[in-house]
Chain A
């Protein structure tokens, strides 16, 4: 018993070290989404090109909802990945043009290429608030029922796609069968 007491500080230290070690690899900037497993909020907006659009116009299959803006540098970093996903028909990508100006958004798509089926124009960020967005880029995985299943904050590169999205998509496909 006395021997055990001697080890209490050691065990205490080990537990503390474990907690802090884990803390080193947590990203405090990545907040949990409140909308996981909830349907996408309703909306009546226009696209960046000016066409009227509602929730009913979204794809009837699993798709990505990517929050972007022409001012957003990390969006340029993830842009090639989004282009590849669209060009290889892996998954439809819908954009949310967040807190941007329509003209700037159109220019950006012209300059860099357009990976989106369409982009919802959210100039005043009101739709973003309903999504719980707090800055571009953010990417949501939405299932065929229109339910949000995954949220990723910051850059979606090939690594994130392989480590986070592909397993989640496989999981959803298994659940559907």
Chain B
């Protein structure tokens, strides 16, 4: 009953192969970029890639401009391309984005009064934790040092007696 005929195995194998084939064929298509921007140099193209990765899509929130299919991301990619072709520096393009969308647009926000806590908050908590750990370990040490009781001569004698009794 449990024996599998040869043709059955072959059938299963071909179905799996077929599915695998579809998956491999479809994967690159699903991930392809839809933009078709023309650049004069490879350097410009790399800058475009880099900048689109560094900016966050304001609509989809946790997607970069590169990965977002949102309308505003499409527009912003077009603007980045335009600004690169106009010869604007990365710094100028970042400023353009900042003036319109604020710190949110950067995955790595600028260091400003408003973002200080974001940048150094984790360090603050680390220091706080270190301080707590340090003070606990110091207290444990103090207890340990004074915790070994020293006996006066009377007590020493009594201790000896008790031990010898046995």
Task: Please give the residue numbers on chain A whose beta carbons come within 8 Å of chain B beta carbons, in ascending order.
Answer: 28-29, 31-35, 99, 124-126, 128-135
Q: Is the CB of B75 within 8 A of A129?
A: yes
Docked-complex contact A133 and B72, CB < 8 angstroms: yes
A-B contact sample (4 more), CB < 8 A, given A34-B100, A131-B100: A29-B61, A129-B79, A133-B72, A134-B70
> Closest approach, in angstroms, between the C-beta of B70 and any C-beta of chain A?
8
Proximity string of chain B (85-108) to chain A, C-beta cutoff 8 Å, 1 when within and 0 when not: 000000000000011111010000
CA distance A28 to B99 in the complex (A): 20
Which 4 pairs of residues, A with B, have the shortest CB-CB distance? A134-B58, A125-B75, A132-B100, A134-B59
Please indicate the chain B residues that have their CB under 8 angstroms from the CB of A135 in the complex.
Answer: 59, 70-72
Q: Is B84 an interface residue (CB 8 A)?
A: no
Contacts A129-B79, A135-B59: A31 and B102 contacting too (C-beta < 8 A)?
Answer: yes
B102 pairs with A99, CB closer than 8 A = no
Closest B residue by C-beta to A126: B75
Which residues in B have their C-beta under 8 angstroms from that of A31? 58, 101-102, 104
From A29, A31, A32, A126, residue with most partner B Cβ within 10 Å: A31
B102 touches A32 (CB 8 A): yes
Q: How many Å lie between the Cα of A34 and that of B114 in the bound state?
A: 13
Which residue of chain A is the closest to B132 with respect to CB atoms?
A8
B79 touches A34 (CB 8 A): no
B positions within 8 Å CB-CB of A? 58-59, 61, 70-72, 75-76, 78-79, 98-102, 104
How close is A97's CB to chain B, nearest CB, in angstroms?
A: 13
Q: From B82, which residue of chain A is reached at the shortest CB distance?
A: A126
Cβ of A28: which chain B residues have Cβ within 8 Å of it?
61
A130 adjacent to B100 (CB under 8 Å) = yes
What A residues does B101 contact at CB under 8 A? Answer: 31, 34, 132, 134
In this complex, what residue of A is CB-closest to B60? A134
Could you list 5 examples of A-B contacts with CB < 8 Å?
Answer: A33-B102, A34-B101, A124-B78, A128-B75, A134-B101
Q: Are A99 and B71 in contact (CB under 8 A)?
A: yes
| Alpha-carbon distance between A135 and B75 when the two chains are bound, in angstroms | 12
Complex Cα gap A47–B58 (Å): 26
**Chain B CB within 10 Å — which of A33, A34, A126, A135 has the most?**
A34
A129 in contact with B76 given A29-B61, A31-B58 (CB within 8 Å): yes
Task: Please give the distance in Å from B55's CB to the nearest CB on chain A.
Answer: 12
Q: Are A34 and B72 in contact (CB under 8 A)?
A: no
Closest B residue to A31 using CB positions = B104
Q: Are A124 and B75 in contact, CB atoms less than 8 angstroms apart?
A: yes
- Asked if residues A134 and B102 are in contact (CB atoms below 8 Å), the reply is no
User: Does A99 contact B58, Cβ atoms closer than 8 Å?
Assistant: no
Which residues of chain B have C-beta atoms less than 8 A from A126's C-beta? Answer: 75, 79
Across-interface contacts of B61 in A (CB, < 8 A): 28-29
